[in-house]
Amino acid sequence: MTSFKVTFTLDEEDVAYFRSRYRAAKRETKSHDPGEVIVNARRLVSDVHANAKAPRFVVDAIDVLSDLTEIIQDENYRAPKRVRDAVLAGLAYFVNPDDLVPDQIPGLGFLDDAIMIKFVEEEFKNELWGYRKFRKLRDSTEQRPWSDVAQERLAKRLASDRKKIRAAIEDRDAKDATRRKSGSYLGW
């Protein structure tokens, strides 16, 4: 099978368009049921994974939605309410079934979703980093559910890991905010 690389650049007008759609979706979050937002985000992930013709870059991008829904729902991670609310608002865009490019168009149908996911990923890059690190630490921990002592030890370790990761996320967010103020950061 022959493959080729397609590259495109979004100009300022394109970026402004996606930014405005994203901000509009975030403003409308209050009109959406949080459960509906999560179900729709998970449905999009499932639809992309089930679509044999979905391009690899779309499949790779879509996994970010899965991680974002886990940030909201993972009881061990315990994201602060402000983070859960912000992530939910970020996912609100994916509730809207009116895509720029209809999902049924082979190869391109999920393109607008993939672009929007990249914007959302940039906004939550530090939270995603923290969640992935927490998940890796938790999943690598030996767990013996039949032992009360082990359960207590695990709970203490997860609490300690959460505290350290939350501090690192806040530090990264503060550094990004400083870079934005100084003009040396191209975040949107």
Q: State pLDDT tens for residues 1-27.
A: 566 666 778 788 888 888 888 788 778
Q: Which domain holds residue 67?
A: 12-182
DSSP letter assigned to residue 54? S
pLDDT band for position 162 (50/70/90)? Answer: very high
The runs of H, that is alpha helices, within 32-147 are 34-50, 56-73, 81-91, 111-123, 125-140
pLDDT band for position 185 (50/70/90)? Answer: low
* Those residues with Cβ within 8 angstroms of residue 135's Cβ, 6 or more apart along the chain or in another chain: 70, 74, 77
In a domain, 7, yes or no: no
Q: State pLDDT tens for residues 63-101.
A: 898 999 999 999 999 999 989 888 888 888 776 655 555
- With contact defined as beta carbons under 8 Å apart, do 113 and 58 qualify? yes
In a domain, 62, yes or no: yes
Identify the residue whose tokens are 């914007």.
119
- What pLDDT, on a 0 to 100 scale, did the predictor assign at position 104? 55
In a domain, 96, yes or no: yes
Burial degree of 106 (CB within 10 A; 0-12, 13-18, 19+) = exposed
In a domain, 5, yes or no: no
Cα 96 to the center of its chain, rounded Å: 17
Q: How far is CA 24 from CA 18, 20, 90, 171, in A?
A: 10, 6, 10, 29
pLDDT band for position 131 (50/70/90)? Answer: very high
More confidently predicted of 106 and 82: 82
- Among the residue ranges 15-24, 42-51, 90-99, 168-177, the one predicted with the least confidence is 90-99
- With contact defined as beta carbons under 8 Å apart, do 95 and 40 qualify? yes
Would you tell me how many other CB atoms lie within 10 Å of the CB of residue 74? 15
- With contact defined as beta carbons under 8 Å apart, do 24 and 18 qualify? no
pLDDT band for position 144 (50/70/90)? Answer: low
In a domain, 110, yes or no: yes
- With contact defined as beta carbons under 8 Å apart, do 40 and 74 qualify? no
- With contact defined as beta carbons under 8 Å apart, do 58 and 106 qualify? no
- What pLDDT, on a 0 to 100 scale, did the predictor assign at position 168? 97
In a domain, 6, yes or no: no
In a domain, 56, yes or no: yes
Average of per-residue pLDDT values in the chain = 81
- What pLDDT, on a 0 to 100 scale, did the predictor assign at position 184? 54
Is this prediction's pTM over 0.95? no
How many structural domains are present in the chain? 1
In a domain, 188, yes or no: no
- What pLDDT, on a 0 to 100 scale, did the predictor assign at position 4? 67
